Chain A
């Protein structure tokens, strides 16, 4: 644990594997930049690896003022102990006031080990971060400019704002995909600070025998338009409607957990609390009731079209276009209308 340090920097853990930076730290950059600006402190990224190459430069382009770069052959593979030790040493040396991690498998493995070692607070899976003041109940003292760590709890039924006013750093992991990725500025200047890792063989308790990575079948996070189907679609065969509509819209096909569990489509397509969090321009919900767990992953969509034959479906409470009807009729109508529009446009262009 470190003391409350108002001059401390805001840190982002820059997760990389085999020299390739993950998306999540970049997503965190715009929010972290905003927090650092409110607090009037520097934003730093922390990168560990055997060789980090141009990653520090990239982190600066995405908003970092400083990059703490730790290169060591013992950091080639991520291991909880070695990575935690290096980050804990850096925290004790530089006393940041805030440190955030992506809530990836690695972030969720690493951050709690660090929090336990430095005896600091940690909030998991945040969906938003803000700066604000807190007055503890029964106290007159106001703690100013704390990190508000906003997260869903109880299966997404409530939103809790968590704070940590005494044992710093204030730490949080942030869900993947909930923050928009900033645009890089290739002219941005920053400082790269090389740090040494103090490691021995005992910090590498794992022997990594084999690793298998697979590409996701769909990139929901990058999709501008998503057409998602729920259990209401009825069958795997009928899910073709979702694929067809996605096709004419140039959209990515998504699904609820129920549809995935029923075998209509692969898990890679799942949107929601246990799937991917998305924020497309348009989300078309086909036969989706809108359970809270699904909402958690798509409520940030700019426009939502809901097609459902149940007037009581929760999705109608927050959809922008509500189509109460049979999806087997409505979806083909949409496909037809869209195809005609494309043709009309071609005709116009041809003239």
Chain B
């Protein structure tokens, strides 16, 4: 039998490449200075979904919640072989914590037909690993976190191996299920040139509107809307439209979205400045090193 997979992905700042410029003087993050990338473990989740599709058939739908710019990682998913891409974007999603995010995403996933929901174990901007389990709870389905290998899919059951920190565990459960995938699960494929040629023109309606506006900066509102609508229709006919959903379409209860729907709030952000209270330069000579070791023995740091 075939399986329909929904993969949740996130566009994140590349925290591994943070430089001085990436931090503002007040300790906040200057997101503009950071390259935006496909969250690494979400690529492992996508890879697993694509492997399931190749082996058993079915579909792969990729969903992200974010700013319009996040459509970029949806295109990258299409280049790799996803069948459909959905951008959940709405100003009212801003400042959502993991609880509000999982609530909004559950609305989107519930609009889709799925057997297996896949998420990366965690995103590198927050490293919380919370959205996957919270989404599973909202969908009222079983979760299996830290999955490092798919062992078997047979009829309506799935077996996987998960990392349990100091070892591994093999478990089986009935579908539907939500899996969170670790970076050890697989080696994500590079995208196919043929697919990237095709899908590089795939756009979400909000991107079409931006493009039309750039092309005709002087056109009035109605004309812009008309131009946008006809271009969206054209993309849809070619199979190049990225679906775009807002909170009204999802029927979300706004009291559980955005800032209002987020129990956790930021009290304070500080830059990391580490400095030793007392520090000494030690010359790389036998004598200086001997003195240092003597000091450490005297103060009982070393026995």
Contact = CB atoms under 8 A, between A and B. Distances in A.
Interface of A: 1, 80-81, 84, 104-106, 108-109, 111-113, 115-117, 119-125, 132, 134, 136, 146, 148-149, 152-167, 205-216, 225, 249-250, 273, 281-282, 292, 295, 299, 302-305, 317-326, 329-330, 333-334, 336-338, 341
Nearest to B300: A281
Contact of B301 (A160, A165, A282, A330): A282
Given A115-B99, A153-B125, A333 B15 contact: no
Nearest to A168: B263
Contacts of A304: 276
Contacts of B264: 121-123, 149, 162-164
Top 6 closest pairs, chain A to chain B, by CB: A325-B284, A155-B15, A121-B263, A116-B137, A124-B128, A112-B133
B117 interface: no
B169 A208 contact: yes
Nearest to A325: B284
B190 interface: no
Majority SS of interface residues in chain B? mixed
Contact of B296 (A153, A216, A282, A318): A282
A318 B276 CA distance: 4
Contacts, number: 239
Contact of B267 (A113, A121, A163, A167): A163
B168 A109 contact: no
B265 A122 contact: no
B166 A213 contact: yes
Interface string B262-303: 111111111110111011111111100110111011000111
27 contacts: A81-B142, A104-B165, A105-B163, A115-B98, A116-B102, A117-B137, A121-B263, A122-B99, A124-B129, A134-B267, A153-B125, A159-B271, A160-B270, A163-B266, A164-B265, A167-B263, A206-B144, A207-B172, A210-B170, A281-B302, A295-B272, A295-B274, A319-B276, A324-B284, A329-B284, A341-B293, A341-B294
B26 to A, nearest CB: 11
Nearest to A149: B264
A108 B129 contact: yes
Contact of A206 (B27, B142, B280): B142
A337 B265 contact: no
Interface string B208-219: 000000000000
A321 B167 CA distance: 38
Given A166-B263, A318-B274, A323 B289 contact: yes
A206 B169 CA distance: 11
Contact of B167 (A84, A112, A163, A214): A214
Interface residues of B, number: 78
Contacts of B296: 282, 303
A110 B102 CA distance: 15
A156 B13 CA distance: 13
A158 B301 CA distance: 30
Given A205-B174, A206-B144, A321-B280, A113 B272 contact: no
A321 B279 contact: yes
A303 B286 contact: no
A112 B130 contact: yes
Given A113-B143, A120-B263, A158 B172 contact: no
A117 B130 CA distance: 13
Interface string B35-59: 0000000000000000000000000
Given A162-B265, A317-B276, A321-B280, 9 more contacts: A119-B263, A125-B127, A160-B266, A209-B170, A209-B172, A320-B278, A329-B284, A334-B289, A337-B293
B289 to A, nearest CB: 5
Nearest to A273: B127
Given A122-B264, A159-B269, A336-B286, A216 B166 contact: yes
A109 B265 contact: no
B301 A326 contact: no
B126 A319 contact: no
Nearest to B174: A205
B166 A214 contact: yes
Contacts of A299: 274
Contacts of B126: 124, 153
Most chain A beta carbons < 10 A, residue from B28, B172, B286:
B286
B29 interface: yes
A101 to B, nearest CB: 12
